[in-house]
Each structure stands twice: as structure tokens, then as C-alpha cells.
Chain A
């Protein structure tokens, strides 16, 4: 099946700093999503972004499908941004989503 790799695996930021999280995938995809998993386990939808660029407040995402990667930008980070960020992709062959290993983000005051 498709391989989904996220980097970095762990990230510690000072409040107010910016960061970029990366998701690489090994095959062509129909769909790609970014999620934030909070400390209670809830997965929160951030972006549904099979291609192009989207922005939502301090967060933005870019997917370059032809080069098989997606980036999640977090600007002016806040302590509430802490948690694990996952990307998930649906390959062109369809039938299911595959999740990456996640980036664990800790924002310290």
C-alpha cells in the first residue's frame, strides 16, 4: 500500500513561533486531509486539500500532488496548538485513507 511519512516526528516551539510540518506520500492520491488530535483524542479537521493552497486563520496548507507532498504551516503558535498533527491520503486506487505517523507538537509559553 501507499507509504505516508510525516516530519518532523516531534517539535517543541516557543509560543509565537512559526513552523512547517511536512507530509510525503509514495503514490498518486485522490484526496488528502490534515487533522489535529487534541490531548483527549478528538481528531479535528483542519484542511481537506487534494491540491493547491488553503488558509484558515493562522493555519495554511499546500499540497503539490505532482511532487507527492503536502505542507502545513502554523504561524504565531499558541499553547492550544499542542497535540499531534496527522495527514491522511486516499490513493488513486481508492477504497480507504492511509494515515501518516504524525507530528507531535508542544508549544511552551
Chain B
């Protein structure tokens, strides 16, 4: 595998289900991100992990719970979602070279989530 991979690519879930999205980066980077892209909207940053520590949480509802066990893997745990959470969820990684500078980002193919 190369670059940034995400699984599953498509997910349909009910509002009472619990599911997880997985992201893995094979680039040796030290920062990883979750973004949400709703239809016809720009990407919205959800979470940032820098050296496995969460550094940003942009007012994301608690029904989204991130986990970063190591610098190569990032998960997004989902529970009791709402239909308006249906969107494309994108993972990215980058190499942080200096304090407060996140450098070039590389994206995975995304997980298209539908909440019924």
C-alpha cells in the first residue's frame, strides 16, 4: 500500500449503529487529520493529531470520537449519528517540520457515509 488509505470506502448505517472509519498513512508523516465534506461545501477540519496528540477539535459533536494509537493510524468512531452527518469523510497526513507549520497534506480516497 502507498500513500494514504481509508476503509471502508462506502458505509451505510442507521442512527443507532456504532461504526468506525479507519485511516492509515504509509508516508512516514507525524500529523494526521479528519475532514468532513458535505454536498457542495468546502472541506471542514474536524480533528488534528500531531505526534499522536490531539491538537485541534473544531467544535465537533461528541458522537464523533477520534483515536490515534500511533503516528500511522487514525480512527473515527461513530455512534448515534444523525442524517445530516451523511458526508464524505476524508483523512489526510503531513510532516510537521516546525512548530505551528503543517506543511504539505496528502489525502486518502475518503469514506462516503450515509446515515439513514
Contacts and interface: CB of A to CB of B under 8 A. Distances in A.
A12 to B, nearest CB: 17
Nearest to B41: A101
Contact of A31 (B44, B56, B103, B106): B103
B45 A97 contact: yes
A101 to B, nearest CB: 5
Interface residues of B, number: 25
Contacts of B99: 94
Contacts of B74: none
B45 A96 contact: yes
A20 B90 CA distance: 27
Contact of B106 (A45, A86, A88): A45
Contacts of B90: 41, 43
Interface in A77-109: 86, 88, 90, 93-102
A96 B56 contact: yes
Contacts of A96: 45, 48, 56, 58, 102
B48 A95 contact: yes
Given A94-B100, A95-B55, A102 B42 contact: yes
Interface of A: 30-31, 33, 35, 40-43, 45, 48, 86, 88, 90, 93-102
Interface of B: 37, 41-45, 48, 55-56, 58, 88, 90, 92, 99-107, 109-110, 112
